[in-house]
Structure 1
Amino acid sequence: MVATFLQDDLVAELKEIFDGFCLKNPQGEWSEINVFPQALPIPAPVAPPEDTDPEIIEEGLADTDPVKVEDPYPYAIVRIQDGKIETIDGAQNVTVLIILGVYDESLENQGHKDVLNMIQKIYERFAKNAILAGKYELLHPIEWTLQEEESYPYFIGGIALNFGTLPIRREDPFI
């Protein structure tokens, strides 16, 4: 098992968990949850105006050129944190952090509730069936957290999941 396979399977699972679950994005539109492996995507540069001198385009964008900001909210990031293999022929345990971000501009400042709802959806999925993609078993404990500092109208939280994988079978004839 390669940890990236677990990550890919968990990304696909989160897309199913959040299917039809919509929250508002910073543009004020209802949006499905964007799910990303490991990190948020890096914003792409804005296309230069059509009347830009071709020599300038060939030299590349300057530090002061505008960048197309694609706000990813609401989102879930599936980040591989670490892993552990305790014996030569033992199973690998992989810790995955799922970082959740939502946008809520309501003056009630209660966006943390959307984050908690997302955490609950993830928990319910694995409480009902601890097996992911027929290859990984959820191990306990499950830990979750909300951000400590104020960042209105953006709210962040996360849940840490530990998965056990199938061990590799030794082929050494001398054991």
Structure 2
Amino acid sequence: MNARELQTALMDDLEALFEDRPFKTPHNTMEPPKAYQQNLPPKDARSEDDPFPYIIVRLDQGGVDTVTDPHKVRVILVIGIYDDGLLDFREPPPEAGEWDTRNFGTMSVLEIIERIQEHYQQRPSLCNGKFYFDGPFHWVLQDETVFPYNIGACDLTFTLAAPRKERSKFT
């Protein structure tokens, strides 16, 4: 197994994990986060597409320390949420039929991060054991507000089987 296969497996796994949890989009619809490989798609000036909500699966670094060690791959997941709510999320919910203007952006990013952490700590094996999450798990939220966009990230390390020296038929 290699890092590219891990990236594809993570994208599929994350989309399945969040298929039942939609978040607000810039078009006032609700959709689950879409997983992207390495970066967001390039912007097209003729399109009004906005990729929020999203999870970017970014391969950060990897390697094998010695010939007997497994291949370790560090993956950074960048989470993007759109929320144009103007009120604090602690405000009481609106009356039935009114638009919810409470801002849940940062809380939504944390919800995604916590759900990812829980998922891989409870089920560390991916693709029938081909990839294994064995920590560490770290997360961070954006420093500056870029209203109405909310960004966070988490970093995970997975273990893959490393290629080994083939034996000669004479040894």
> Which range, TM-score by smaller chain?
0.7 to 0.9
Task: Tell me if 1:10 matches 2:5.
Answer: no
Where does 1:89-128 land on structure 2 (aligned, <5 Å)?
89-108=68-87, 109-128=103-122
Aligned-pair CA distance for 1:86: 0.2
* Equivalent residue pairs, number: 154
Same amino acid, percent of matched pairs:
32
Q: CA RMSD in A?
A: 1.6
Aligned-pair CA distance for 1:88: 2.5
- The CA deviation string for residues 58-95 of structure 1, in whole angstroms up to 9 with x for no partner, is xxxxxxxx431310000000000000210134211000
User: What are the ranges of 5 or more consecutive residues in structure 1 without an aligned counterpart?
Assistant: 45-65
Aligned-pair CA distance for 1:172: 4.2
**Corresponding residue of 2:160:** 165
TM-score, structure 1 as length reference: 0.82
Letter in 1 for 2:144: E
Letter in 2 for 1:164: T
- The CA deviation string for residues 93-150 of structure 1, in whole angstroms up to 9 with x for no partner, is 0000010000011113441000000011111111211111121111221001100111
Letter in 2 for 1:168: P
1:82 alignment partner, one of 61, 80, 87: 61
Aligned-pair CA distance for 1:32: 1.7
Q: Is the contact between residue 89 and residue 168 of structure 1 (CA under 8 Å) also seen in structure 2? A: no
- The CA deviation string for residues 29-82 of structure 1, in whole angstroms up to 9 with x for no partner, is 1112111111111134xxxxxxxxxxxxxxxxxxxxx43131000000000000
d(CA) in 2 for partners of 1:141 and 1:33? 24
Q: Is the contact between residue 121 and residue 133 of structure 2 (CA under 8 Å) also seen in structure 1? A: no
Aligned-pair CA distance for 1:12: 0.5
SS in 1 for 2:12: helix
2:127 alignment partner, one of 130, 133, 136: 133
SS in 1 for 2:46: coil
d(CA) in 2 for partners of 1:30 and 1:140? 32
User: What are the ranges of 5 or more consecutive residues in structure 2 without an aligned counterpart?
Assistant: 88-102
Aligned-pair CA distance for 1:25: 0.4
d(CA) in 2 for partners of 1:81 and 1:38? 9
